[in-house]
Amino acid sequence: MLKTDKYPCVKEIEANKFPAVIHFEAGTPASTLVDFFNEFRSGIETLLLKSGAVLFSGVDISSRDIFEATVSRMGDDFINYADGNSPRTKLSDKVYTSTEFDPAQSITMHNELSYSAKWPSRIFFSCIQPSETGGETPLADGRLVLKHMDAGLVEKIRQEGVIYYRNLHGGEGFGPSWQDTFETNSREAAEAFCREAAIDFVWKDDGGLRLIQKRKGILEHPVTGELVWFNQVDQFHPYHLGQQTYEVMMDMYGSTDALPTYASFGDGSSIPNEVIASIKEIFNNIEVVRPWEKGDLVLVDNVLVSHGRKPFTGARQILVSMLA
Ligand SMILES: [Fe+2]
């Protein structure tokens, strides 16, 4: 499929792995990867749809500038992170840091922006600086996740969809502000975004903004037609933090309406705590965890595959770029 005679720097292709891996000779210039990628674009596309994610290893992607130049030539139609729920820094129109969320905590598995009206079809992740310990980006195949979920739960979500709730503060408070979320200081611009994205919103007296968005939760892949688990209800639901933290949060906020984030079934009924726990367990069993190596570049089909983040120590820099 991928004839590599012209590219002796390509040492091995592991097509049947998850993620698929294309091993380059250590220190291969990023421009060579770009040439290879563009020459074999359709083969790589086939590999990506089959595996869900492709890792290019051994390439010299050692700075933000190299990362940006590389992904700029591998994709077009980059999108921003408006409506994002995780703290991160926008480094340019195309490049973000991966989440700056507390290094001591895990981030649960999610498809990027699955709660939003628009999500990236593809995501590039690259490791500029590996952490000292941990910090992996686990990946899970949403086709497999769906197969392991309780059939009754899948049917309920297919019929009803899911609803995500967020309470964003107006400058100071827990979690992200609406200004950071919508990448604007203008209330009008935030409202326009919400209307466009089918998000119900309510301004609060303290300057905060409450968002309610109903989404499908299970999707058909736009190219392959395969059904995939495509939601992050467990991440929005505080029970994913464990029974004890859940109880503390419920005491602190008093009701589910006041929680920073929450999720329910699409008919408004609660998702039982044990269902949230079972979703988390299924992801734990299915996720594939691979340590980052400096220069690794991973291309993920964001509908087929979810990702998360393991806790870490030490400096870690993973850059992210998203394609429409
Ligand atoms: Fe993410």
Residue 84 has pLDDT above 80, yes or no: no
Distance 113 CA to ligand 1 centre (A): 8
Residue 113 has pLDDT above 70, yes or no: yes
Residue 98 has pLDDT above 80, yes or no: no
Residue 97 has pLDDT above 80, yes or no: no
Distance 165 CA to ligand 1 centre (A): 18
Distance 243 CA to ligand 1 centre (A): 24
Distance 173 CA to ligand 1 centre (A): 22
CB 59 within 8 A of CB 74: no
Q: What percent of the chain has pLDDT over 70?
A: 99
**What is the pLDDT averaged over residues 124-135?**
96
Q: Beta strand 122-129 with 107-110: parallel, antiparallel or unpaired?
A: unpaired
Distance 158 CA to ligand 1 centre (A): 23
**What is the pLDDT averaged over residues 118-131?**
95
Residue 87 has pLDDT above 80, yes or no: no
pLDDT band at residue 1 under the 50/70/90 scheme: low
**What is the pLDDT averaged over residues 67-77?**
93
Residue 164: CB atoms within 10 A of its CB come to: 25
Query: Which tens digit of pLDDT belongs to each residue from 237-281?
Result: 999 999 999 999 999 999 999 999 999 999 999 999 999 999 999
Give Cα separations from 295 to 13, 33, 129, 195 (angstroms). Answer: 17, 12, 8, 40
Distance 127 CA to ligand 1 centre (A): 15
Distance 84 CA to ligand 1 centre (A): 9
3-state helix/strand/coil string of 151-216: HHHHHHHHHHCEEEEEEEECCCCCCCEHHHHHCCCCHHHHHHHHHHCCCEEEECCCCCEEEEEEEC
Whole-number average pLDDT of the chain: 94
Distance 8 CA to ligand 1 centre (A): 34
Distance 63 CA to ligand 1 centre (A): 21
**Per-residue model confidence (pLDDT) at position 315:** 92
Distance 255 CA to ligand 1 centre (A): 27
SS3 145: helix
Most confident of 82-86, 95-99, 137-141: 137-141
Distance 308 CA to ligand 1 centre (A): 6
Helix-helix angle 30-39:41-51, to 10 degrees:
90
Residue 195 has pLDDT above 80, yes or no: yes
Q: Which residues keep their CB under 5 angstroms from ion ligand 1?
A: 112
Distance 112 CA to ligand 1 centre (A): 5
Query: Which tens digit of pLDDT belongs to each residue from 210-240?
Result: 999 999 999 999 999 999 999 999 999 999 9
Residues 6+ apart with CB under 8 A from 159: 266
Distance 4 CA to ligand 1 centre (A): 32
pLDDT band at residue 93 under the 50/70/90 scheme: confident
Distance 3 CA to ligand 1 centre (A): 33
Distance 110 CA to ligand 1 centre (A): 6
Please state, in angstroms and rounded to a whole number, the distance separating the CA atoms of residues 158 and 215.
10
- pTM, two decimals, is 0.93
CB 95 within 8 A of CB 64: yes
pLDDT band at residue 109 under the 50/70/90 scheme: very high
